[in-house]
Amino acid sequence: MGGSTQTSTSQQHSETQPWAPAIPGLQQVLGDATTLYNSGAGTGIYSGPRVAQLGDDTLGGLQSIRDQFSSDNAAPQGISFAQSLLGSRGMSPTTQQGLGMLADVSGVTPQSVLGQSGLDKNGLSAGSVGALSQLGNVPGVDLSRLGSLADSLGSASNPVNQTATSFMNGSRDLTTIPQLQDLYAKSQAPSSAEMNLSGVARGDFLDPTKNAIFQNLVKTSSDNALQAQKEAFAASGRYGTGAFAGAATKAVNDTQSQLYAGQYNQERANQVSANSQIDSARQAASQLGSGILGQIGSVEGTNNQQRLSGAGLAQSQTAQQAGVLGQMLSGGEFNSSLGMQQAQSALGAYAQGTQNRLGVLTTDVGNDLNSQQFNSNLDVTKANGFINAGQTGQAQALQAATALPALDAARYAPAQQLIGVGSLLQGQDQANIGASQQLFDETNNMPWQNLDRYAGLMGGMAGLGGTTDSYGKQTTKTQQSLGSSLLGGALGIGGLVSKLAGSGLF
């Protein structure tokens, strides 16, 4: 692949010429380049979308999150409920009613006993009073926060109580029953088939003689039959004879009998068909009405279930309040037991003395005390029942409020999954936009790339030319090999123009 070169140390003049067969191609390259440049080839700007828009799934998921957030937001409701519970000191109206009943319980008033035992109006001896004074100095614990919690639980402004009340009083019932009832009434109204075909079904049209249109047909057919007999007998010369009269009468009677029988049978078939259509329409209406009644029952069942759920929520709220009140009562019992041991010995001694005195009282006085004590205990039992019911409801309500945030968060899961699907689809749309933009760029630049490749080929072929050196009367010529020229020929358009300008060809 090497070439031969002749050199000389003498002063010389050199001139390089491209390979002659490549010159037309080089000229074409320059002409095509000018044409492409003037035409604006490769200057196009991609005008399609560059960023994939949010799809319906993503928008639907985001809208669903917005809708869920703007609707019942259970987490703040649960917090508000707990705060309201603290504000009400954990006491529901039921518990407060029970406490009021306890306050109203009348004590035992054994006046006759006191008069005989030497006790004071409270049934205590002087020693017992002294011992009890020690209990009055026992410090208690602060129950204000528990009381505030109970009051908050039973507050009417508590969101949980409001929600439970709205469900129980039916304000959140489904309201589609009137529409379903109206649809049921329409489904049971007479159908078009029944109204239009009732006469046919009753047989109002079985008598063909009452059908004026059919009578016209009978008359026309009878006239045609009589005319046919006339023509037949006239052709045989027997027109007007007795045979003609009998044949004419028979032809007319046969025609009318066939028409009447056919019309009657047809009307009987119509009657059967009309009854069948009416029965089918009534059966369809019955099925439709049954389905509508089922829907009404479903709506009523849903409303009842919602009301039961509201009642359960209210019961839970009351149970929670009862629980808080129980803590408060436990604290009160704890307070009352503090310092009890300080006076226990003294109270025991005085109590024994009091019992000895009371033991000598008459049976009537004892019966009177028992009766009063029974009534007092009965009132206390009733009051405790109210208190226990209030505590139970308040505890259940607080438990439901605790579960509300987790249930509220679960509402957003479907929307988040839908947004995930939308993100995958949006990514695919973005990839398609990128592919479209890449295709545009490749198409836009392809004319210049093809010309550049062709120019490289022509530049390599042009290098096959030689350089002529002049040495006075002596001339030296250098010839490059084909391989080295082709290897160095990928000059591109810019390199080709530079090379040709140096050759003096243009």
Answer whether residue 317 is part of any domain. no
Closest CA to 491 of 451, 445, 460: 460
- Specify whether 255 is located in the same domain as 293: yes
Q: Mean pLDDT, to the nearest integer, of 421-427?
A: 89
pLDDT-based confidence at residue 432 (cuts at 50, 70, 90): very high
Answer whether residue 90 is part of any domain. yes
pTM (two decimals): 0.32
Q: What is the CB-side half-sphere exposure of residue 142 using CA atoms within 13 A? A: 3
The pairing of strands 474-479 and 13-16 is unpaired
Q: Mean pLDDT, to the nearest integer, of 208-217?
A: 85
Q: Mean pLDDT, to the nearest integer, of 135-155?
A: 66
- State the CB neighbour count (10 A cutoff) for residue 475: 12
pLDDT at residue 296, as a whole number: 85
- Specify whether 147 is located in the same domain as 231: no
- State the CB neighbour count (10 A cutoff) for residue 434: 12
Reading the block at residue 204, the tokens are 């109002």
d(CA 131, CA 347): 6
Highest mean pLDDT among 168-177, 216-225, 368-377: 216-225
Of residues 25 and 400, more confidence is placed in 25
Q: How many structural domains are present in the chain?
A: 3
Whether 431 shows a pLDDT value over 90: the answer reads: yes
pLDDT at residue 481, as a whole number: 43
* pLDDT per position as a tens digit, 349-363: 656 666 766 665 556
- Specify whether 188 is located in the same domain as 283: yes
Answer whether residue 421 is part of any domain. no
Helix (H) or strand (E) holding 476, with range, is: strand 474-479
pLDDT at residue 349, as a whole number: 62
Question: Burial code of 81-92, b = ≥16 C-beta within 10 A, e = fewer?
Answer: bbbbbbbbbbbb
pLDDT-based confidence at residue 439 (cuts at 50, 70, 90): very high
Which value, to the nearest 10 degrees, does the dihedral of the CA atoms of residues 354, 359, 361, 366 take? 100
Of residues 485 and 393, more confidence is placed in 393
pLDDT at residue 148, as a whole number: 74
Whether 318 shows a pLDDT value over 70: the answer reads: yes
Cβ 289 vs Cβ 188: under 8 Å: yes
Question: Burial code of 343-360, b = ≥16 C-beta within 10 A, e = fewer?
Answer: beeebeebeeebeeebee
Answer whether residue 419 is part of any domain. no
Question: Of the residues 388, 405, 422, which one is the last residue of a structural domain?
Answer: 405
Whether 301 shows a pLDDT value over 70: the answer reads: yes
- Specify whether 252 is located in the same domain as 189: yes
- Specify whether 167 is located in the same domain as 201: no
Q: Mean pLDDT, to the nearest integer, of 6-26?
A: 70
Q: Mean pLDDT, to the nearest integer, of 391-400?
A: 74
pLDDT-based confidence at residue 9 (cuts at 50, 70, 90): low
pLDDT-based confidence at residue 487 (cuts at 50, 70, 90): very low
Answer whether residue 318 is part of any domain. no
pLDDT at residue 485, as a whole number: 43
Question: Of the residues 358, 375, 405, which one is the last residue of a structural domain?
Answer: 405
d(CA 390, CA 387): 5
The pairing of strands 466-471 and 474-479 is antiparallel
% of the chain at pLDDT higher than 70: 68
* pLDDT per position as a tens digit, 249-289: 888 898 888 888 888 898 889 889 888 888 888 888 888 88
Whether 484 shows a pLDDT value over 60: the answer reads: no
Closest CA to 299 of 188, 184, 186, 187: 184
d(CA 206, CA 209): 9
Number of residues written out for the chain: 506
Whether 435 shows a pLDDT value over 90: the answer reads: yes
Of residues 506 and 444, more confidence is placed in 444
Whether 502 shows a pLDDT value over 60: the answer reads: no
pLDDT-based confidence at residue 437 (cuts at 50, 70, 90): confident
d(CA 145, CA 147): 5
Q: Average pLDDT over the chain, rounded to whole?
A: 75
Answer whether residue 366 is part of any domain. yes
Q: Mean pLDDT, to the nearest integer, of 190-210?
A: 79
Which value, to the nearest 10 degrees, does the dihedral of the CA atoms of residues 118, 122, 123, 129 take? -80
- Specify whether 82 is located in the same domain as 165: yes
Of residues 171 and 444, more confidence is placed in 444
- Specify whether 248 is located in the same domain as 296: yes
d(CA 169, CA 174): 13
Question: Of the residues 275, 308, 341, which one is the last residue of a structural domain?
Answer: 308
Q: Could you list the residue range(s) of the whole structural domain that residue 194 is in?
A: 177-308
d(CA 139, CA 137): 6
pLDDT at residue 483, as a whole number: 40
- Specify whether 134 is located in the same domain as 77: yes
Reading the block at residue 401, the tokens are 């409020």
d(CA 309, CA 406): 18
- Specify whether 340 is located in the same domain as 386: yes
Cβ 285 vs Cβ 183: under 8 Å: no
- Specify whether 289 is located in the same domain as 334: no
- Specify whether 448 is located in the same domain as 334: no
Whether 410 shows a pLDDT value over 80: the answer reads: no
- Specify whether 372 is located in the same domain as 347: yes
d(CA 257, CA 252): 9
Q: Mean pLDDT, to the nearest integer, of 53-59?
A: 87
Answer whether residue 238 is part of any domain. yes
Answer whether residue 105 is part of any domain. yes
